[in-house]
Structures are given as C-alpha cells and as structure tokens.
Structure 1
Amino acid sequence: MPEKPNSLKQIDFKPSGKIFPSPADWRDQFIYFLLVDRFNSGQPDIPPYHPETTPIGRDDSEGEKWQDGTLKGISDKLDYIRGLGCTAVWLSPIFKNRIELNTYHGYGIQNFLDIDPHFGTVKDLQELVEKAHKMGMYIILDIVLNHTGNNWAYPGGYRYDYCGGQRFSFGFWREVTAGSGIEWPDDAVWPVEFQNPEWYRRKGEIRNWDTFPEARDGDFCSLKELDTSSREVLRALIDIHKYWIAVTDVDGYRLDAVKHLEESSTALFCAAIREYAQYIGKKNFLFFGEIIGDDRFIDQYIGRNARIPGTNERFPSLDAALDFPLWGMLEGVIKGFTNPAELRKRYEGFRELYSDHGRAGEYFVTFIDNHDQIGRSPRARFLHNDPLQRQAVLAIGYLLTSIGIPCLYYGTEQGFDGGGDHDKYIRECMFGGRWGAFNTTGHHFFNPDNSIYKDISRIAEIRGEEPALRYGRQYFREISGNGVDFGYPIDGRSTLAYSRILDSTEILVTMNLDMKPRSDFITIDSSLSPTDKEMVNLLDARSRVKITEVNGRHIVHTDLQPHEIAIFKIIVP
C-alpha cells in the first residue's frame, strides 16, 4: 500500500499494529472536544496568560484564518487533558482540505485519504493515538459523510441555489492553477473515485434549512453534497473509514450533519463500520452524531434499529447523539432564565421514549459549549457576558452528575467567554497564536491552577468513583424553605436537586442557582436513605447532613453558598 494512496484500489484494511480494545461502556468516559487548528501549535516558550498583564488587542480577520495548531501539539498536552479528568479526545476533522482556502475547521475535505499538512502527518496521528492509549485514553475522529469541500463549480463558476429539486449540470473541477489540468495532490478531490460528477446531488445551495428534502439534498453552503443514496458512494465512504481505523487504531467517530443524510445511509454506514471494528477487536466502537432537532426527531437515529427502505431489514444506527435539546435549556436553567420544570419535563419524556430511562444516558453526548451553534445568534460560549464563573462549574457539574456521556469543549475550563456574530468568536486559540481568548495574542491558557479547571477535575474524579453517577436512574427532587411545604423549583432563586439511583445507592446532587446563600430541605428516597443515617458531601467531607422525616417524607437540610454544588451520599463504615 503506498504511503499516500490516491485511489480506493490502493488501500487495505489490515490493522497496522495491535488493536486497543474499546471501553466496556462509554458512559464511563468524559470527552474533551477540541478544534485541532486552535488547540496547540507545539511551539516552545509561549508565555502564560495573566489577566492583569497580558496585552489586549487582536486583528479581527485572524479568526477566519489557519492558526497552526497540530496533532503533535495535542500529544504534548494530553497530560493537561487527562488532569482535567477527561478520558477521551474528540478531534475536529483532520483530513486534507483545499490549500487555497481558509477552511481551518476541517469540514471542507479535498482528500479523504490524507491528513491536512497544516495538522501534520499520518504518523503524527498514529503517535497521538498510541500515546493516548498508553494513558488509558481514547481518540474520536470527527467525520463528514454528506459533503466534500468546494472542489468543483457549477457551470460558469456561478452560485446555484436549490430550486424545487432540480439537478443542475456539472461545471468544472477546481484547480489551484487554473488551466493546468487536474494534478495530484491539490486539485479536484481525492481519492480519484470521487472525481465522478454523478456521485454528487448537484442541486445547489440550501436556502431553507428546515425544509425537506432541500435540507438533505442541497449543498451545505459552498460544500458539495454527495449522493449518499448511491450504494457506490456509500461503499466508498465505508471503505475510507475502515481504512482509517486500520491505519490509526482510533476508537470512535462523530458523524457531522446527520440530518443531511438518509436515515438508511447512516444506519448502513454505522453497521458496516461496526462489524469491521468488532471483527478486528474493537467491540464497542463509538458512533455519535450531530442531529439538530427535538427528542422525537433524534430518536429516529438512536436507541433502536433503523429500517432500510424497500426491504424488511433493520440495522443498528448511531449509538448516541449530541444532546442539543439539553444544550438549548440547561444554560437558561443554570442562569435563572428558564424554569427548571422544563428540564424535569424533558427527562420525564425519556420514560415514554425509552423502556429503561436509566439506560437513556447511553444515547446522549451532553455539552454546554460547542463550536457550531446553528440557529443561535449571536454565537456565544456559556460564559459570554457572564462574570459569574461559578455558573460554568454548575453547568459542567450537571453534565458530570446527570445521565449521558459528558463532553467538554476546549477552553470552557479556562473561562473562555467568546461571542459574536461569527463562529470565529467561539473558536479561540488555547495556545494564544494570533487569535487568543479574551482579545489577546501570543499567550497560552493551559493553566491547571484555574479554579474552574480544578473544580471540574474534582467532580470528574467523583463521577469516576461512583457508578450511580454514570449508570443510575435520575429523579428531580422537591425542595422546601420551611421543611413543611414542598414543591419543585420554579426559577433561578432556588436549589436544583436530583438523585441518581443505582441498585441500593442514592446520590443526591444539589446546586444553588442563586447569587445568595440558600438553606433548603430536600426530599430523598425513603426506602434507600433511612432516618438513622447521614449523608456526606463527596466534595467536602466536613459537610454532612442528617436524614430526618417529616409527614412520611425523608429529607435532608442543606446549606449552600452562592452557586455551590454539593454531592451527597451515605457513607457506610
């Protein structure tokens, strides 16, 4: 097999080394998501950021340009990520993009069989995966199935918009040097099989993003939509992604823009890759997807088998989806803008969708910050225009103690607060570069002494020690200010409380959403938490609460400082 294959005929699927096994349950993991271009350049002697002394001021145009983060740079900072408590790293797309465009995000792929030289080499990725595995960590690649980069044009080079499903003529393949003819490796698209105009839908750019079939069949802006309904195209995509598992031993795939694919194509792809992974020894290779929609829409892709049109066959599809419904409400609940009842109602709905709502946590990758905030204007990190950094700890604390596979977007642990009318404002450089956080340049943010970092690390440690926080059922708890009149919280001036229950263990999580200290009585499970016991705060062993009974209700009385989180459990001697 050549070092840099340019055809599917040149690849094979024999693993290049010993296979690292999958985790038994992905709920045991804590994922760290980073943009490769924005995380770490690996350059030595970059000074640390100091809020009092680091100069302010950056060129606004730099946010849309390559910033030179690399795979080697990520390898250099695995200890930093692991120290946070994260055990898996999700990388933004790393395959080669067009050299003449500033698609630093990686989603404009020009060669599916090579690493973008901005990021490094195949060997760099292999070494990153190997180092992560030695540290007991996993690597997840972000992959794109529905489109390629802007590798060809419509006739005349004009923009074509979606128009009633009309299929347009093919124009021409893009060349770095116009008129030179297609040259390897930077012109057109690779592998060479993708240089077939019939492999593309050719229906112009999407104008109405919520209209079907336009949202599925149209081009994603200038990125050209593949015809994934074609078995030939789908087979090629399957072979490409089998190849990358064989070559690098990665542990999972995050599928981009799933709603722009046929449900059956998603299911067939996942089934084929899953079988290959199982065959070589990765028995729990992870697939999770970006699906923008409500719980019922997401349910079409997860938790059950997908039917293949025209047959009686069913195939398992995605293992999980990014939890956009939670993202849409959690920030408002933590900050007091949204009634906590909305959160409770959402989880109650799981009992209708899933036979075992404790296992529903397998189906969601939860987050509070991300790089691509479709439908939100302006784009904003959780802490944008929010000086109350403890609220970020509450939000991440919620992810780590509620159902789901928690995921942290890089920089949140350092209080990044970017926001604005463009994606670039939420894609700051951790290593500083020319587009650092807080309107700075040239100063890094890898500070393990940051209070947010340390608090997240401690909560993640507790999650790792307590099976109930990973697998348990979840119940929101009624509270009372006087110990007599109980009800669920209705605004941000309250304590949010919920229990995770697994077998005979109850863990009570309490969060003061208020800017003032609170003293509340909180309901707990009467069969699991008897009145002759006390519960200990796992975050502060000095904090203990006695279990008492009022009118047949078992309760504890908690005192919480502003925006404090406490995790209570009965400790058996």
Structure 2
Amino acid sequence: MPVRRVADLDFAQFAGREFHPSPAAWEDHVLYFLMLDRFSDGRERDYLDRDGQPVTTGTTPPLRPADHGNAVTTDADARRWREAGTRFTGGTFAGLRSKLGYLRRLGVTAVWISPVLRQAPGVESYHGYATQNFLDADPHFGSPEQLRDLVAEAHEQGIRVILDVVVNHAGDVFGYDPDRYLTADGTFDARWDGNPYRVEGFRDASGKPLLPFGPVDDAWPDGAVWPAELQQAGTFTAKGRIDNWDWFPEFVEGDFLGLKDIALGAGAVDAYRPSPALRALTRAYQYWIAYADLDGFRVDTVKHMDPGAARYFASAIHEFAQSIGKDNFCLIAEITGDRGFAYRTLEAVGMDAALGLADVQGRLEGLVKGRVDPAEYFDLFRNSFELGKDSHTWFRDRVVTSYDDHDQVRKGGAKARFAADADGARLTLAALALNATTLGIPCVYYGSEQAFDGAGDNDRYLREAMFGGEFGPFRSRGGHAFDENHPAYRQFARVLDLRRRLPALRRGRQYLREISGDGVSFGLPRVLGGRMLSVVPWSRLLAGAEVVAAINTDPHLPRTAWVTVDNDLHSQGDSLTCRFSTDPADEGRRAWVEPRNGKAIELTVPPGGFVLYA
C-alpha cells in the first residue's frame, strides 16, 4: 500500500544509518545544472564510462560537426524537431548516472538536478516544475530507488547532489469554475484581482476537473494532489494567474499561469504561522533528504514566497539535515532583484546562497562579449560594508554565478545561449573561465562545455537534449554530445583543475585590475564606442599569494597590456609564471614585475582566450 500522507512516512527506517556528510565549504565546489529530461537517456555509445573506458554497446552515436542542422533540412523536419522540444524527450536517473564520469573528469563536484517528483498527468511538464505528487518520483525519470542509486554513485565519484524543489506552487491540479472568469467575448481570463475564484474540482488522471475539491483518497497516484494533506480546504490561494510580476501581494498570491499557488501561512517573519500545507511539504522534503541522501536544495521562486514561509522552510530543513549529520546542507534560493534586496532577503529567510541576483548573468555575458564595463560585474562583489559585512570575501559562498540557464527571464522573448552567435562561440572558454575563477559558487549550465548554441522565442531552444534523440543540440537528430575531446571541455577541465589546486581562486579577495597599453597611462578597461576589445584582468589574493587571471574580449586578435598587481606583495625583478593559456606555447613563460602604476606585469592574451599567472 503506497504511503499517501506525510503523517505515514516511515522515518524510522533511517535510524542508525550513516549519511554522506556535507562539504566544509561550498565555495570550493563547482555546480553543474542540468534538466534531467534533456541530459542522458543512457543509450549512447562511444563515450567514456566512469573509469574512462569506451562504451560501445549503446545505440546513439556521437554527434559530428557534419550532423549539425540535420534535423531541419526541410520545413516538415524542422517542425518535427521544434515540436519534439515541447515534450518529454527521455532523460532519466540511470542516464545521468552513466555520465557521472564525464562530469567528474570535467571538474564538476556538485550536480544540480531539475525537479524530479511526479508531474501533473496529461501535460508535457518535462521541466519538473508542475508537481502533482510530492511523495513519488516521476516515472518518466525512473523510480525513487533509481534516484537513491544515482546519488550513491555520485557520492562514490566525489560529486554532491542538489535537487531543485518547489514549495511555492503545485502543478495544474485543479480547474477554476469557468463561470467566474468568462469574459464578454466568451474567452476565459482567470487573472489575479485579489479575490478568490470558485473551483470546479481537482483534476483526474485524464486532466479533467471532475474530482471533488476536497479529500479524494481513491485518486492516487495521478489524480488531485498528494500528499493527502494538500487536499484539505485552504491549501490553495485560488486567486488566478499573476500578470504583474513585481506587484505585491499579486506576485505572492497568484498562480504561475496554470501552476497553482499554495497558501503557505500568514504573519510577520518573526511570528509566522505556517499553514498545514507548508508543514506537510516541508516534512515531505525532509523525507527525500534522508531517503536519497541529498546534499542540498535549490529552492524555486523564493521571491514569490512569504519571507516567513521561506524562513520556516529553511529552518526546518537545516535542523533536520543537521540531525542526520549534514551540518552544511546547502539551500540555494532563487531570489531575483537588486543586490541589496537579494541579500537582505537571503539573510532574513536563513538560506545559504542567492541565485539570480542583480543580473549576474547579464553582466557576466556582457563583459565577455565586450558590451558591458567590467566594473559592472566586479562591483557586485564590492562595498560589502553596505551589507554589514567586513570583507567582500563574504560573497564567495553567498552567490551562485552563471551566464546561461534554462529560462533566461532576463532576456524576455528573444532567448539565446551565450554561444549562439559567432563571437560567443569563440569566447566560450573565456566565459567559462571568468565564471569559475571569480568570486561566488560557479555554476555551469549543461552543454556550455560543448558550446551549445540554442536560440529562439521559446525556452525549449535553451533545453537541447544532450543525448540527441528527436531534439538534439545544434538542430540535430540522433547524435549525443558527450565529447571529452571538445576544445572547450578539455580547456575548461584544466581551468577547474587549477581552481582546485589554487585556494586563492576559490577563497581569495578579488580585484579588477587597471591596464595600460604603453606602461604609463593606466585605467580600468571599459566599453568605448559600443564595444570593448581588450584584456580584462583581475587578481585573487589569499594569505600573501596573488593569482592574476585575464580574458581577451577580442575574439579575433591577441591583445597585450600592462596589468597592475599588488604593490606590497611584489618587488621589482619578481615574476609570475603562466600556469594556463588557451595558447599552450605561452605556458611556463614568466611575467616580470616592473615599477609601473605601483607594480605591473605585461601579459598577452590569445584571441577570445584566457590566461592565468601565479
């Protein structure tokens, strides 16, 4: 008999079990965000297994450059490829498990997986954000046991697992009574207006709102919503969809289109009264932590939760995790908005790191492509005193940084991966390296290490199936992209190895450095005439050691500049040695310290490249 109520979950089975401990410091880790449905179905061949040995038994061959565009050669083919991107494509727990070696060799140490719980039936919610049953894994991905086995295997390979979770809303689990929102022209428009709508009923397994809007024990597992505690009156705000995404209380009370908002409680942050629904969801997620031995959660849409609800969830999750030996269980909060708002919210709710603040992604991408002054990105990690912190190294584990993701809300209707244009493809390693060697917990969006170039007017184009199938990357069909010989993969793996071996790149203070073309006039690199084609250098300092890194935003020509270094750490005649360059001939070269602008060294960075001196 399946468990249908949180109250009946068997926590006793975890007594005496040893759980995988938390890492000492999350800033030491490199995250890799993947959409499970779009990563691997386990049917590939001619890739390397966990031990680096060739796998020859699968059916899907590697993607070749000549295969790019093979799915869109005719209008009918292109339509078939586009439509495939709207549906489940076949990624599974077992598929991801088979590619952990690929991730480990890249240098990934924590994988962030899109939501995996059972989705509302009859809807192609492959993304996982439309949960209907919080007590079960979605069968498209596999069984709960396969999730548990995946995490155990990841731990054996030195990779932590962070699961994307949703507390703010459920899937489209009920239908509104159409009489309440039928407009004069005969259309339906259930917009938020501050008043609750009448509900027609919970949806049955076919997606029709034919079930009573109340306890329905016989609807397991695909009808209504589970656990059964969520079927009680008052679980859902039922006020219709959000139109104004920054208007309070609309953005807290409204639905995400068809995703139904859950009433989480009421009251001020310090005196919040969690609803029975919030208590039930929190208990369910505590169970998943122990069952699968998870290491962290990425908490979806924290901005749309009451601060008191987010604090209750964070406190209860942290306490439970600590009770089973996970003292540093990581809660990454999706909090959009300016830096001050994001960090005030982060500290108020007690989560560990912020995702999406102050357009980190847009500024990082704009910097590398020469469209944004570098100071706009680096200044996000300065002025820590304004936040009540004594050093900007506080940011090292309080922000997750990236430049591509699965929805790119910041770009509106025209969405594109970083490498979608020709310059982006040439600058891929520069973007990956900048993200990995500056402050914060770096996060790589799946496929970036293969220079995926998805673009279009819909999120689907950012969510290519890495294993090929009907919706493969580069508008292809039938070829996988687990290519460990790809230049971006190989070079980035070396950068991440240096990050692991040089503590300053993970924990050091950070400074954007002034440059000079003649060794006399120095200034920060900045955009002139609409485009910056320049060396952009920065330093990481830790315990008397300085590491100097630099990218070249010019994708076509090498650039040379004098770069300021710390005046007190270096003397004239000292040198720093090139530990990495996208031109291997540069490695091992010494850059001599000279008395210019205090102290400076002269660097040359290859076209669209990255260098690191230490």
User: Could you tell me which residue of structure 2 aligns to residue 234 of structure 1?
Assistant: 278
User: Could you tell me which residue of structure 1 aligns to residue 269 of structure 2?
Assistant: none
Check if 1:174 corresponds to 2:178.
no
Check if 1:34 corresponds to 2:34.
yes
Per-residue CA distance 1:441-497 (angstroms, 9 max, x = gap)? 111000000001111111000000011111111111110000000001112221111
Tell me how far 1:529 sits from its aligned partner.
2.2
Answer yes or no: is the 8 Å Cα contact 1:510–1:567 preserved in 2: yes
User: Could you tell me which residue of structure 2 aligns to residue 311 of structure 1?
Assistant: none
CA distance in 1, matches of 2:294, 2:163: 7
User: Could you tell me which residue of structure 1 aligns to residue 104 of structure 2?
Assistant: 82
Select between 420-429 and 15-24 the one with higher mean Cα deviation.
15-24
Q: Which amino acid aligns with 1:19?
A: F
Q: Secondary structure at the match of 1:24?
A: coil
CA distance in 1, matches of 2:595, 2:407: 48
CA distance in 1, matches of 2:162, 2:468: 24
Tell me how far 1:112 sits from its aligned partner.
0.1
Tell me how far 1:45 sits from its aligned partner.
2.0
Q: Which amino acid aligns with 1:148?
A: A
User: Could you tell me which residue of structure 2 aligns to residue 391 of structure 1?
Assistant: 427
Listed as ranges, the matches of 1:292-331 within 5 Å are: 292-302=336-346, 304=347, 306=348, 316-323=350-357, 325-331=359-365
Answer yes or no: is the 8 Å Cα contact 1:436–1:442 preserved in 2: yes
CA distance in 2, matches of 1:268, 1:82: 35
**Length, aligned pairs only:** 556
Answer yes or no: is the 8 Å Cα contact 1:432–1:445 preserved in 2: yes
CA RMSD of aligned residues (A): 1.7
1:345–1:46 Cα change, 3 Å: same
Q: Which amino acid aligns with 1:525?
A: D
Q: Which amino acid aligns with 1:64?
A: T
1:163–1:22 Cα change, 3 Å: closer
1:197–1:372 Cα change, 3 Å: farther
Per-residue CA distance 1:174-210 (angstroms, 9 max, x = gap)? 0124558752211111111111241111111011112
Tell me how far 1:350 sits from its aligned partner.
3.6
CA distance in 2, matches of 1:356, 1:264: 28
CA distance in 2, matches of 1:198, 1:550: 69
Q: Which amino acid aligns with 1:41?
A: D
Q: Secondary structure at the match of 2:470?
A: coil
User: Could you tell me which residue of structure 2 aligns to residue 136 of structure 1?
Assistant: 158
Q: Secondary structure at the match of 2:41?
A: coil
Check if 1:433 corresponds to 2:479.
no
CA distance in 2, matches of 1:319, 1:346: 14
CA distance in 1, matches of 2:308, 2:344: 10
CA distance in 1, matches of 2:430, 2:422: 13
Listed as ranges, the matches of 1:409-558 within 5 Å are: 409-491=445-527, 492-514=532-554, 515-539=556-580, 541-550=587-596, 553-558=598-603
User: Could you tell me which residue of structure 1 aligns to residue 292 of structure 2?
Assistant: 248
1:114–1:53 Cα change, 3 Å: closer
361, 369, 374: which is aligned to 2:396?
A: 361
Tell me how far 1:387 sits from its aligned partner.
4.6
TM-score (normalised: structure 2) = 0.88
1:357–1:52 Cα change, 3 Å: same
Tell me how far 1:549 sits from its aligned partner.
0.8
Per-residue CA distance 1:391-436 (angstroms, 9 max, x = gap)? 1111110111100000001011111000111000000000001100
Q: Which amino acid aligns with 1:550?
A: R
Q: Which amino acid aligns with 2:560?
A: S
Q: Which amino acid aligns with 1:50?
A: R
Q: Which amino acid aligns with 1:558?
A: L
CA distance in 1, matches of 2:351, 2:372: 33
CA distance in 2, matches of 1:529, 1:409: 38
User: Could you tell me which residue of structure 1 aligns to residue 270 of structure 2?
Assistant: none
Answer yes or no: is the 8 Å Cα contact 1:459–1:539 preserved in 2: yes
Show structure 1 runs of 4+ deviating over 6 A.
none
Answer yes or no: is the 8 Å Cα contact 2:175–2:199 preserved in 1: yes
User: Could you tell me which residue of structure 2 aligns to residue 290 of structure 1?
Assistant: 334
Answer yes or no: is the 8 Å Cα contact 2:438–2:510 preserved in 1: yes
CA distance in 2, matches of 1:274, 1:388: 40
Check if 1:346 corresponds to 2:395.
no
Check if 1:336 corresponds to 2:376.
no
Select between 196-205 and 281-290 the one with higher mean Cα deviation.
196-205
User: Could you tell me which residue of structure 2 aligns to residue 312 of structure 1?
Assistant: none
CA distance in 1, matches of 2:357, 2:500: 21
User: Could you tell me which residue of structure 1 aligns to residue 9 of structure 2?
Assistant: 11
Tell me how far 1:298 sits from its aligned partner.
0.6
Listed as ranges, the matches of 1:151-300 within 5 Å are: 151-156=173-178, 159-177=188-206, 183-229=219-265, 230-300=274-344
CA distance in 2, matches of 1:25, 1:142: 20
CA distance in 1, matches of 2:415, 2:552: 27
Q: Which amino acid aligns with 1:47?
A: P
Q: Secondary structure at the match of 2:311?
A: helix
Q: Secondary structure at the match of 1:550?
A: coil
1:299–1:535 Cα change, 3 Å: same
User: Could you tell me which residue of structure 2 aligns to residue 71 of structure 1?
Assistant: 93
Q: Which amino acid aligns with 1:140?
A: I
CA distance in 1, matches of 2:235, 2:405: 31
Per-residue CA distance 1:308-348 (angstroms, 9 max, x = gap)? xxxxxxx6334433455211211111111122232243333
Q: Secondary structure at the match of 1:542?
A: coil
User: Could you tell me which residue of structure 1 aligns to residue 66 of structure 2?
Assistant: 52
Answer yes or no: is the 8 Å Cα contact 1:32–1:88 preserved in 2: yes
CA distance in 2, matches of 1:120, 1:343: 40
CA distance in 1, matches of 2:352, 2:601: 41
Check if 1:107 corresponds to 2:129.
yes
1:486–1:15 Cα change, 3 Å: farther
CA distance in 1, matches of 2:447, 2:42: 17
Q: Which amino acid aligns with 1:161?
A: A
CA distance in 2, matches of 1:295, 1:533: 39
Q: Percent identity?
A: 38
Answer yes or no: is the 8 Å Cα contact 2:383–2:392 preserved in 1: no
User: Could you tell me which residue of structure 1 aligns to residue 23 of structure 2?
Assistant: 23
User: Could you tell me which residue of structure 2 aligns to residue 406 of structure 1?
Assistant: 442
Q: Which amino acid aligns with 1:32?
A: Y
CA distance in 2, matches of 1:324, 1:143: 22
Tell me how far 1:537 sits from its aligned partner.
1.3
Tell me how far 1:538 sits from its aligned partner.
1.3
CA distance in 2, matches of 1:546, 1:126: 53
Per-residue CA distance 1:488-518 (angstroms, 9 max, x = gap)? 1112221111111111111111111123221
Answer yes or no: is the 8 Å Cα contact 2:296–2:329 preserved in 1: yes
Q: Which amino acid aligns with 2:595?
A: E
Q: Which amino acid aligns with 1:172?
A: G
Answer yes or no: is the 8 Å Cα contact 1:31–1:408 preserved in 2: yes
Tell me how far 1:69 sits from its aligned partner.
0.5
Q: Secondary structure at the match of 1:48?
A: coil
Answer yes or no: is the 8 Å Cα contact 2:575–2:593 preserved in 1: yes
Per-residue CA distance 1:352-396 (angstroms, 9 max, x = gap)? 223221121111111111002114121111111235423111111
1:102–1:408 Cα change, 3 Å: same
Answer yes or no: is the 8 Å Cα contact 1:369–1:381 preserved in 2: yes
Answer yes or no: is the 8 Å Cα contact 1:268–1:317 preserved in 2: no
Tell me how far 1:525 sits from its aligned partner.
0.3
Q: Secondary structure at the match of 1:389?
A: helix
CA distance in 1, matches of 2:193, 2:137: 37
Q: Which amino acid aligns with 1:137?
A: I
Q: Secondary structure at the match of 2:601?
A: strand
Q: Which amino acid aligns with 2:382?
A: E
